[in-house]
Structure 1
Amino acid sequence: MDVSRRYFVGGAVAMVAGASASGVIAKPDNKIVWPNTTTPSEPAAPAVPAAPKLAERPPLLQAALAALDKHGSRVGNRQRIGVVDFTEHSSQKRFQIVDVAHGAILGSYLVAHGRGSDPRHTGWVERLSNRPGSNASCPGSFVIASRYYGKHGVSRRLMGLDPENNLALERAIVIHGASYVDRSLISAQGQIGRSLGCFAVAENEIAEVISELGEGCLLYASEARA
């Protein structure tokens, strides 16, 4: 299942957690239709649907917005967030970039997890780790750091904000492009390849990802299934 449909389609995204929602938010790619005016000289005010209650937001989005509030002093750009669902199979587009203010999904992407998180290469995350040398992915909140050019080309560093990922910078856990993140591999082997713990995306999408999710934004990665 496409993560974008599972988590965001059919529900509105409110303003940053803790702030009051204002304005009207439509589902991605849909337009809001205002009612016809009955008096041409005095148009009727448009109907504004109530802001979504916290309980109506998808759980993963609730967690990401709560993390945005929790780490607000360290997150310089609150307009967009990246959300990765490690409970989904690697054949799914489980990496979303969301425009928080407007409730729009800016992109949905395949993303690899670490070899240490999936030792049998099934496409499912079995474990997460913050330990150096584990080659595993780690969950929690990250702030997007500087852009650089390394062995995988253009990439972005990540700084872990939680105890379960606070060694991300030391471990060189970054966002980068990789040839093993490709739809053709899903057809051939049922899943994409694995990283050494980094958030690896398709090589033809890395420029878009690091442009949309700029320095100072939050990246939130969910826990794997228990």
Structure 2
Amino acid sequence: MNQDRRRFLLSASVLVAGAVGTARASAPGPMRALKPMLPAQSIAPTLTPTPPALVKPALFAQARAAMERHPQIINRQRMALVDFAAPSSDPRLHIVNLLDGTATSYLVAHGSGSDPDHSGWLEHFSNAPGSNASCAGAFLTADPYVGKHGASQRLIGLDPTNSNALSRAIVLHGAWYAEPAVASVRGKLGRSQGCFAVGDSVKAQVMAQLGQGSLIYAAKLVA
């Protein structure tokens, strides 16, 4: 092999080696998996941990615990609390918006069996049929219907203390004797047969706020 040919082959091998080295240096590395970005609407809303000003913290805590205990409650953004430790002349039905911590409060009557002397104060609960008394515990708002009190809403008792609510026809309905004017004149509301009776003037508003699948939690906490 002459000297010129040897120089040519040596130059070619150097060029090939350089090209291979350049290709290796510029080749992309392994692809890394990127974490997907979650759309804003997929983030669950944060529910307020504190009660509104008019709601007793202990009552609020019990209602929140009842909501977690009963999976039948599908509306997790709003609930109603009934503070039967207050007199019937006070707005003691509180519908709480758990997203922003606000509440709307209404008058609500209790059963005649819970207040036999019609003092305006609930003395005791009963789950017994025919007692005409209010019962305590967690209620699930069920289907609306039209009955003797007009538009009303059935309630399902979720606890042993109110398990007969549906068979006793313990419902949410409107009544003239639960209007603010009655409380102003008499210092107390009239009594139901154990139902949650609100004023006829606000019944539609209350039912619209709650809808179906919501919690109504009723209790009498003295402390």
Category of TM-score, reference length = shorter chain: 0.7 to 0.9
Question: Superposition pairs for residues 58-207 of structure 1, below 5 Å?
Answer: 58-71=57-70, 73-105=71-103, 107-207=104-204
Give 1:225 deviation, angstroms: 4.5
Q: Alignment partner of 2:154: what SS? A: strand
Query: Does the 8 A contact of 1:85 with 1:221 survive in 2?
Result: yes
Structure 1 residues 52 and 142, CA gap change in structure 2 (3 angstroms): closer
Q: Following the alignment from structure 1 to structure 2, what is the Cα–Cα distance between the partners of residues 221 and 136?
A: 13
Q: Following the alignment from structure 1 to structure 2, what is the Cα–Cα distance between the partners of residues 214 and 197?
A: 21
4+ aligned runs moved over 6 Å, structure 1: none
Q: CA RMSD in A?
A: 2.1
Q: Following the alignment from structure 2 to structure 1, what is the Cα–Cα distance between the partners of residues 46 and 79?
A: 19
Structure 1 residues 22 and 210, CA gap change in structure 2 (3 angstroms): closer
- Structure 1: give runs of 5+ residues left out of the alignment: 1-19, 26-50
Q: Following the alignment from structure 2 to structure 1, what is the Cα–Cα distance between the partners of residues 193 and 46?
A: 42
Deviations 1:181-205 (A, max 9, x none): 1222223221010000000000010
Give 1:102 deviation, angstroms: 1.8
Instruction: Report the AA paired with residue 185 of structure 1.
Output: V
Q: Which has the larger radius of gyration?
A: 2
Structure 1 residues 66 and 151, CA gap change in structure 2 (3 angstroms): same
Specify which structure has the higher proportion of helix.
2
Question: What's the TM-score, normalizing by structure 1?
Answer: 0.73
Give 1:87 deviation, angstroms: 0.4
Residue identity (%): 50
Give 1:166 deviation, angstroms: 0.5
Structure-1 residue corresponding to 2:21: none
Deviations 1:19-51 (A, max 9, x none): x9849x7xxxxxxxxxxxxxxxxxxxxxxxxx7
Q: Following the alignment from structure 2 to structure 1, what is the Cα–Cα distance between the partners of residues 78 and 58?
A: 18
Deviations 1:96-138 (A, max 9, x none): 1111122121x21000000000000000001100000000000
Give the length in aligned residue pairs.
176
